[in-house]
Amino acid sequence: MPVLIESDCINCDMCVPECPNDAISMGKEHYVVDVNKCTECEGFYDEPACIPVCPIECMVLVPS
């Protein structure tokens, strides 16, 4: 399941450095996750590192 950044993202930049796969980048209006690069941090961490650092909790796991 890749991570999805919802539209209420405030572009705070907290999630970007947490991603070991460089899967997070700026979209047209807010950050987006490249589903082809997102591995949920498998092989790096026990859970996605980006989700807990989001101050407004706009990152969620979605079924692929």
CATH number at residue 1: 3.30.70.20
Q: Which helix (H) or strand (E) holds 33?
A: strand 31-33
Per-residue model confidence (pLDDT) at position 45: 96
Domain total in the chain: 1
Contact 51, 20 (CB under 8 A): no
Domain enclosing residue 1, as ranges: 1-63
Confidence (pTM): 0.91
**Nearby residues of 24 by Cβ (< 8 Å), 6 or more positions away:** 5, 15, 16, 31, 32, 33, 34, 50
- Give the residue ranges of the chain where pLDDT is below 70: 64
CA 40 and chain centroid, separation: 9
| 9 closest CA partner among 42, 62, 53, 63 | 53
pLDDT of residue 63: 79
